[in-house]
Structure 1
Amino acid sequence: MPRFDGEEPKPPKPGDDEQVPIEVVVQQAVEKLKLPKPVIRTSPDEDFVQVVRVPTWMWMQRATWEPVSESAEVDGLTVTATARPRQAVWSMGEGGSVVCKGAGTPYSKAYAPDSESPDCGYTYRTASLGEPDKKFTVSVRVTWDVEWHGGGQAGVVPGMVMAAQRQLVVDEVQAVVVR
């Protein structure tokens, strides 16, 4: 298994008879990975007000939840690293959090307006009016696991993370009964 302890393994100099340590090539392949930044989407739409006690659906654009692969080669030794998103941890700004195993389901008119997301949703309990700018900061951290193979070996580099955040206004709706 490769070491990632902050010490950069030194590649051999031309003419050295030593084979390149596989850790060097693994690290190069992993460093080449360009993991996508999550793009946060919600329903009600993130540009509109979320409502206390009404389910909020959360998801990320599908393109930000697909495997990413890169290869590196040194002196004929090729290693391919493939990153796969494992989970998304959402921090909702009022103290609550949600763990989702996938990108989430985009809301569509096929669902009832008051239905909960089948896989990634949250229901606010308080309004954001007391917060700075009267908004909650919502963030998502996507954890990626990286599997690599090459030179007859394989391994895992766990826990790479990409994150994003945005502001959401959450308000409370009061009903007025007229008789």
Structure 2
Amino acid sequence: MSPVETARQVVRVPSWLWVEQAGWAPVRSTVAVTGVEVTAEARPSSVTWDLGDGATAVVCRGPGTPYGPDSDPYAASPDCGHTFERPSVGEAGGVFQAVVTAHWSVTWSGAGQGGAFPDLTTRTVLPVKVVEVQSLVVAGSGR
């Protein structure tokens, strides 16, 4: 998340959302029992970001684009982002509880057969502090 989830997000400033590339890779495991080997593979298919602010959850079909040093801080993410419309000050602990759910497609093969399991999910909860930035305009300075 940019800024990082431990920093403050700002109302009406785009937040970029992504999963690190290492976390967006297939996971494979093989088990052998009594001479029969079975392999299962889980592939990430999407990530759902329910950011806890009451807005519709953001569903990203890929890992998202990491925010980098050359990224425009006012530009929206090209593929996975969210803009908070209100601060989290009124929430418990002053934060939104963002729930990030990764969806995995799982297949298996072994002993000349194969198939698919129902999709699996993994979840992470992140506390996200969202603040408003106030400004003051002073008139009559003559400059």
Question: Where in structure 1 are there 5+ consecutive unaligned residues?
Answer: 1-41
Give the one of 51, 58, 61 matched to 1:98.
Answer: 58
Whole-angstrom CA distance in 2 between matches of 1:146 and 1:169? 34
Choose the corresponding residue for 1:173, options 123, 133, 136.
133
C-alpha displacement at 1:176, in angstroms? 1.1
Provide the residue aligned with 1:85 in structure 2: 44
Asked if 1:114 is matched to 2:114, the reply is: no
Letter in 1 for 2:134: Q
Partners of 1:117 and 1:163 in 2: CA distance = 22
Secondary structure at 2:17 match in 1: strand
1:75 Cα deviation from its structure 2 partner: 2.3
Deviation string, structure 1 residues 90-138 (Cα, Å, up to 9, x no partner) = 1101112100112211101222110111111000011101101111111
Task: For 1:85 and 1:136, locate their aligned partners in 2 and report how far apart those are by CA, in whole Å.
Answer: 25
Any stretches of 5+ residues in structure 2 without a counterpart?
none
Q: Which residue matches 1:73?
A: 32
Q: Following superposition of structure 1 onto structure 2, how do residues 113-132 of structure 1 map, counting pairs within 5 Å? A: 113-132=73-92
- Residue aligned with 1:133, SS: helix
Query: How many residue pairs were aligned?
Result: 138
Pairing 1:50–2:9 present: yes
Amino acid paired to 2:18: W
Q: Please give the secondary structure, in 2, of the residue aligned with 1:63.
A: helix
**What is the identity, as a one-letter code, of the residue corresponding to 1:91?**
D
Q: 1:139 aligns with which of 79, 85, 99?
A: 99
RMSD: 1.1
8 A contact 1:144–1:158 mirrored in 2: no
Q: How far is 1:79 from its partner?
A: 1.2
Larger radius of gyration: 1
Q: Is the 8 A contact 1:72 1:80 kept in 2?
A: yes
Whichever residue aligns with residue 8 of structure 2, its letter is V
Give TM-score, length-normalised by structure 1.
0.73
The runs of 4+ residues in structure 1 deviating greater than 6 Å are none
Larger fraction in helix = 1
Q: What one-letter code is carried by the residue in structure 2 that aligns with 1:140?
A: V
SS at match of 1:59: coil
Specify the code of the residue in structure 1 equivalent to 2:53: E
